[in-house]
């Protein structure tokens, strides 16, 4: 069987399972209207259990490409969804003090469980109008310079920094290149490596290339269960290697982009659990899982001496991608 035939078969099976799941969910919704009688309540409970089991089985056997699709789900929570659930007293700061404000990247100050922190992350936008305003979550140089400005402000006042990564990558347009896209990203990498405050990074959706890494140099790097993090998108990789973007599923498997793969490779420190079916099925539960991880990590990092924190952060990233062939 050819690669295309295998992919078509896998997609067909996944689609069939998804259709079966959606059909059962509709039946549950219909039965809710009849609830109140003994028979209806019993049937409703039976279907609820069946839906839960089917959803669990479906999401436990997803491949890298299917998880990438969940990470890109249009209803997946974005930073503007997490902010009111995780933080209080959030104040957004605008502009890079050099060119302008980039709406693709949100940066500001807030409180997390009473602690003063800085919050930074990409924002994609929910509908077409928002996506255009947010540039589909692809920051330009002024976005990264705004992020760095807020990070340095946080460092000045001893505030921990929490960043949230969800971007297909930095904006590749001519205007971004003219204003120094590569330089802005490189400067962020250098400066984040030596910030004298705890930095916690969370990949909430997709983490694409340097556009993600520019706000992702931290003491702890987390990723949501269905998120992915890669040097290039699966479609882009397939287009380069095989000259065929249709082989994106094959590329996704080869690239080791899933949370489990990244944890084994030492790229991320912790996988944050998601509600059954993905973060888009229960925003509040997804935020609660993340809340517990961030709270624990902030307590751990707050007890570390600053010099030890910065040295460990630098060493952590310098060791990534180093592999040795030890011969007997």
Which residue ranges make up each domain of the chain? Answer: 3-61, 70-318
- Determine how many CB atoms are found less than 10 A away from the CB of residue 86: 22
CATH of region 70-318? 3.90.226.10
Quote the pLDDT of residue 182: 94
Q: How far is CA 222 from CA 10, 219, 243, in A?
A: 29, 10, 33
* Percent helix, strand and coil across the chain, each to the nearest 5: 55, 15, 30
| Bridge partner list, 120 | 107, 163
Closest CA to 85 of 204, 248, 218, 235: 204
Quote the pLDDT of residue 20: 63
Ranges in the chain, pLDDT < 70: 1-41, 50-61, 323-328
Quote the pLDDT of residue 37: 58
Quote the pLDDT of residue 278: 85
Quote the pLDDT of residue 171: 93
Nearest 10 degrees: Cα torsion 32, 33, 36, 37: -100
Q: Which residue shows structure tokens 């790097």?
A: 221
User: Phi then psi for 35, rounded to 5 degrees?
Assistant: -60, 145
Quote the pLDDT of residue 153: 97
DSSP secondary structure letter of residue 322: -
Quote the pLDDT of residue 297: 96
Q: How far is CA 215 from CA 60, 162, 181, 244, 295, in A?
A: 30, 10, 14, 31, 20
**For 82-136, how does the pLDDT look when each residue is reduced to its tens digit (9 = 90+)?**
999 999 999 999 999 999 999 999 999 999 999 999 999 999 988 899 999 999 9
User: Rounded to whole angstroms, how far apart are CA atoms 6 and 21?
Assistant: 23
Written as six digits, the tokens of 148 are 């760095």
Closest CA to 75 of 278, 324, 307: 278
User: Rounded to whole angstroms, how far apart are CA atoms 169 and 55?
Assistant: 31
């Amino acid at each position: 069987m050819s690669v295309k035939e295998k992919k078509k078969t896998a997609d067909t099976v996944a689609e069939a399972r998804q259709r079966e799941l959606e059909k059962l969910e509709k039946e549950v919704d219909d039965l809710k209207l009849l609830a109140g009688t003994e028979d209806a309540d019993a049937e409703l409970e039976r279907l609820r259990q069946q839906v839960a089991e089917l959803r669990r089985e479906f999401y436990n056997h997803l491949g890298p490409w299917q998880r990438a699709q969940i990470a890109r789900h249009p209803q997946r929570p974005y930073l503007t969804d997490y902010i009111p659930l995780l933080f209080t007293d959030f104040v957004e700061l605008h502009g890079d003090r050099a060119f302008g404000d980039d709406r693709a990247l949100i940066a500001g100050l807030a409180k997390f469980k009473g602690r003063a922190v800085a919050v930074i992350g990409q924002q994609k936008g929910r509908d077409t109008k928002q996506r255009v305003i947010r540039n589909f979550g692809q920051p330009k140089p002024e976005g990264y310079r705004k992020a760095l400005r807020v990070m340095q402000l946080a460092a000045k006042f001893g505030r921990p920094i929490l960043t949230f990564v969800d971007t297909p990558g930095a904006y590749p347009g001519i205007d971004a290149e003219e204003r120094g896209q590569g330089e802005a990203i490189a400067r962020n990498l250098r400066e984040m490596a030596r910030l004298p405050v705890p930095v916690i990074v969370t990949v909430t959706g997709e983490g694409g290339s340097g556009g993600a890494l520019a706000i992702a140099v931290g003491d702890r790097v987390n990723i949501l269960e269905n998120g992915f993090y890669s040097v290039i998108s699966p479609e882009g990789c397939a287009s380069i290697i095989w000259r065929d973007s249709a082989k994106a599923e094959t590329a996704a498997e080869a690239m080791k982009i899933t949370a489990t793969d990244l944890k084994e490779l030492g790229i991320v420190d912790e996988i944050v659990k998601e509600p059954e079916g993905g973060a888009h099925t229960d925003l509040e539960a997804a935020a609660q899982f993340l809340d517990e991880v961030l709270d624990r990590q902030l307590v751990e990092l707050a007890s570390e001496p600053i010099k030890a924190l910065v040295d460990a952060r630098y060493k952590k990233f310098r060791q990534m991608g180093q592999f040795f062939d030890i011969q007997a």
